Amino acid sequence: MAVIKSQFTLRLSLTDHAKIKRIAESENRSMTNMIETLVKNKIQQYEKENGEIPIKEEDIYVE
């Protein structure tokens, strides 16, 4: 089953962009995959410390 993903514009400083690119290259990932992985890891860390973030059906939408 295909996963529907949200697409949006992300602005980064040139320094942050270069650093994430370097990390992605060291892990043989694309920039997009690296950013997605970093976001997932942060969400997981946050939920571990603060409990699961409740999401309702209306919170999930496709633009």
Residue 34: other Cβ atoms inside 10 A: 19
Going by pLDDT thresholds of 50, 70 and 90, the confidence category of residue 17 is very high
Segment holding 34, helix H or strand E: helix 31-50
Q: Measured between alpha carbons, how far is 21 from 24 in angstroms, rounded to an integer?
A: 5
Give residue 11's Cα distance to chain centre: 13
Domain locations along the chain: 14-51
* % of residues, the chain, pLDDT over 90: 75
**How many Å apart are CA 52 and CA 31, to the nearest integer?**
27
24: three-class secondary structure by DSSP = helix
Judge whether residue 63 has pLDDT over 70: no
